[in-house]
């Protein structure tokens, strides 16, 4: 089992294999440890979320190609959890044990609607914000070990975000034939945007002590989190969903 798990990691051989902490302050290192510990937990949870998306895809009649990509995204996130755990150890902390699997919400709404809601929120919205954050962090990171880890995550997250928009595009003919589902998705969007803002905007994130060492380690600047979030939503997510025929602009303004 361990051999097969190792084969499936598919993690490219690291060019930078060691982390040198000598150039950084203890406070910046501690913030980096906390960040990568949280990431390890979050990436493992994301793997379980994508795995939990598969029954919705099957019930909705998603293509085999879409199912293959969803299974691959779950594997990507599990690999991310391993990368984050390795970074956490390199920073001097043992990664946490996996938490209980997240509850994947299910309702009495039609299967296709539930599937599309999860893809829109999870891929089009959440993963797009994650991409923007990783881009910002990797652009400022100067430590080669951590920058390599950030770029490994970013490469997959770009594909995960794109998957959401591509899938909804492929469902466009079906959606045109089912205006009731489009109306239901439009009604879902204001609450989805409100949840996204509440959980990922970064407004009010504590920033005491953040400095050049944090930036070099690839830790996000708390002061920049809201700007990154709102620019991403207003210049990427909203217009992207609008182009797919959803009332995203109206929903974003109605979220309050």
What DSSP designation does 24 have?
A: S
Q: Is residue 8 part of a domain?
A: no
Q: State the chain's mean pLDDT as an integer.
A: 92
Counting beta carbons within 10 angstroms of the beta carbon of residue 100, is it exposed (0 to 12), middle (13 to 18) or buried (19 or more)? exposed
Q: What is the mean pLDDT of residues 192-214?
A: 94
CA distance 45 to 50: 9
- CB 161, CB 127: distance < 8 Å: yes
CA distance 136 to 162: 18
Confidence check: pLDDT of 215 > 80: yes
CA distance 44 to 33: 17
Structure confidence at residue 4 as a pLDDT band (50, 70, 90): very low
- CB 174, CB 112: distance < 8 Å: yes
User: What pLDDT does residue 146 have?
Assistant: 96
pTM reported for the whole predicted model: 0.92
- The dihedral built from the CA positions of residue 189, 48, 50 and 140, taken in this order, carries a sign that is positive
Query: How many Cβ atoms sit within 10 Å of the Cβ of residue 96?
Result: 13
User: What pLDDT does residue 97 have?
Assistant: 83
Confidence check: pLDDT of 152 > 60: yes
User: What pLDDT does residue 151 have?
Assistant: 96
> SS3 for 39?
helix
Q: Is residue 4 part of a domain?
A: no
Query: How many Cβ atoms sit within 10 Å of the Cβ of residue 243?
Result: 12
Q: Is residue 13 part of a domain?
A: no
Half-sphere exposure (Cβ direction) of 242: Cα atoms closer than 13 Å: 12
Q: What is the 3-state secondary structure (H, E, C) of 86-100?
A: HHHHHCCCCCCCCCC
User: What pLDDT does residue 96 have?
Assistant: 84
Residue bearing tokens 């400022």: 140
Q: Is residue 17 part of a domain?
A: no
Q: Is residue 12 part of a domain?
A: no
User: What pLDDT does residue 1 have?
Assistant: 40
Least confident interval from 12-26, 50-64, 176-190, 223-237: 12-26
Confidence check: pLDDT of 17 > 80: no
List, in order, residues 6 or more apart from 197 with CB less than 8 Å away.
Answer: 229, 233, 255
Q: Is residue 92 part of a domain?
A: yes
Confidence check: pLDDT of 8 > 90: no
Confidence check: pLDDT of 154 > 90: yes
- CB 75, CB 130: distance < 8 Å: no
Closest CA to 185 of 98, 120, 90, 106: 120
- Residue 245, H or E segment: none
CATH number for the domain that contains residue 184: 1.20.1260.10
Domain with 243, as residue range(s), is: 25-204+212-254
Structure confidence at residue 7 as a pLDDT band (50, 70, 90): low
Q: Is residue 19 part of a domain?
A: no
Interval 32-45: pLDDT, tens = 999 999 999 999 99
13-to-10, 75, 143, 148, 152 alpha-carbon distances in Å: 9, 18, 18, 11, 11
* 156 vs 13, residue with greater confidence: 156
CA distance 128 to 163: 10
Phi/psi at 70 (5° precision): -60, -45
Quote the number of domains for the chain: 1
Interval 90-147: pLDDT, tens = 999 999 887 777 777 788 899 999 999 999 999 999 999 999 999 999 999 999 999 9
User: What pLDDT does residue 98 have?
Assistant: 79
Q: What is the mean pLDDT of residues 11-22?
A: 75
Confidence check: pLDDT of 28 > 80: yes
């Amino acid at each position: 089992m361990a051999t097969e798990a190792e084969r499936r990691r598919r993690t490219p051989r690291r060019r930078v294999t060691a982390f040198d902490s000598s150039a950084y302050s203890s406070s910046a290192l501690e913030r980096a440890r906390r960040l990568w510990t949280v990431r390890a937990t979050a990436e493992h949870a994301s793997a379980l979320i994508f795995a939990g998306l598969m029954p919705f895809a099957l019930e909705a009649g998603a293509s085999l190609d879409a199912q293959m990509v969803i299974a691959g995204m779950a594997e990507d996130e599990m690999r991310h959890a391993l990368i984050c755990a390795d970074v956490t150890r390199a920073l001097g902390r043992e990664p946490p044990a996996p938490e209980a699997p997240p509850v994947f919400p299910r309702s009495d709404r039609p299967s296709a609607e539930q599937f599309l809601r999860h893809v829109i929120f999870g891929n089009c919205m959440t993963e797009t914000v994650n991409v923007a954050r990783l881009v910002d962090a990797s652009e400022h990171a100067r430590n080669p070990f951590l920058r390599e880890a950030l770029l490994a995550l970013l490469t997959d997250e770009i594909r995960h975000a794109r998957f959401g928009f591509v899938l909804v595009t492929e469902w466009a003919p079906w959606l045109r034939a089912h205006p009731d589902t489009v109306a239901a998705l439009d009604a879902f969007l204001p609450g989805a945007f409100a949840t996204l803002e509440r959980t990922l905007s970064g407004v009010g994130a504590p920033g005491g002590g953040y400095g050049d060492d944090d930036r070099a380690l690839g830790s996000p600047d708390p002061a920049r989190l809201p700007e990154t979030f709102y620019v991403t939503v207003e210049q990427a997510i909203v217009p992207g969903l609008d182009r797919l025929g959803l009332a995203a602009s109206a929903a974003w303004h109605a979220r309050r």
